[in-house]
Amino acid sequence: MAACSGNQNQQNEQEQPQPQEEVAVAEELVVAGNYGEEIHEEGAISAEELLTKMEGVDSMQVKVTSEILATCKMKGCWMNVEVPGEDKMRVTFKDYGFFVPKEGAEGKTVVMEGYAKKVTTDVETLKHFAKDAGKSAEEIAAITEPKDEITFVASGVIIKDAE
């Protein structure tokens, strides 16, 4: 498996030393930025609009904006985003080629470009995701049914700072 790559952020911190009192602020700001392929915000639709566009189709290439609910606590290899009227939408990253921060992204706006697809996620995979999210043993044991959902494979992501 690929390891989480955070080298770009580490280089920036080393090149630009900051006074000690500003370090905590700088660490918060590291979350915002582009991950994966460079994309732009123009043309992004809401997650709610995505649901409408997915009616009658199995998959589509699209650019979507939403709010990040959670990221993988183990590596940052997936994130869950808000979809109004739905539980959430799981986002993974094309070819396991990039990751997002493991913490600090929750509540931030995200723009992502890639493929949305209708899938049925099996119980074993759902339990694996729950474990990666830090859920309790009881919560993991309560997963007993596969889930029909829309998932997203992003080729590029922009995490925005609060405006």
**How much of the chain exceeds pLDDT 90, in percent?**
63
**Residue 163 confidence (pLDDT):** 60
Average pLDDT of the segment spanning 115-128: 93
Average pLDDT over residues 19-42: 69
Question: pLDDT digit string (tens) for 127-156?
Answer: 988 888 788 999 999 999 999 889 999 999
Rounded to an integer, the average pLDDT of 18-35 is 58
State the alpha helices, DSSP H only, in 30-157.
47-53, 123-132, 137-141
- Please report the pLDDT score of residue 130 as a whole number: 87
Weakest-pLDDT range from 62-66, 82-86, 153-157: 82-86
Alpha helices in the chain (DSSP H): 7-15, 23-29, 47-53, 123-132, 137-141
Q: Which helix (H) or strand (E) holds 35?
A: strand 33-36
Mean pLDDT throughout 17-21?
42
Class of domain 7-160: mainly beta
8 SS3 class: helix
Residues 6+ away with beta carbon under 8 Å from 18: 26
CA 134 to chain centroid: 16
Q: Supply the pTM of this predicted model.
A: 0.74
pLDDT for 30 = 65
The domain segmentation of the chain, as residue ranges, is: 7-160
**Residues 14-37, mean pLDDT to the nearest whole number:** 58
d(CA 18, CA 6): 19
User: Backbone phi, then psi, for 41, in 5-degree steps?
Assistant: -75, -25
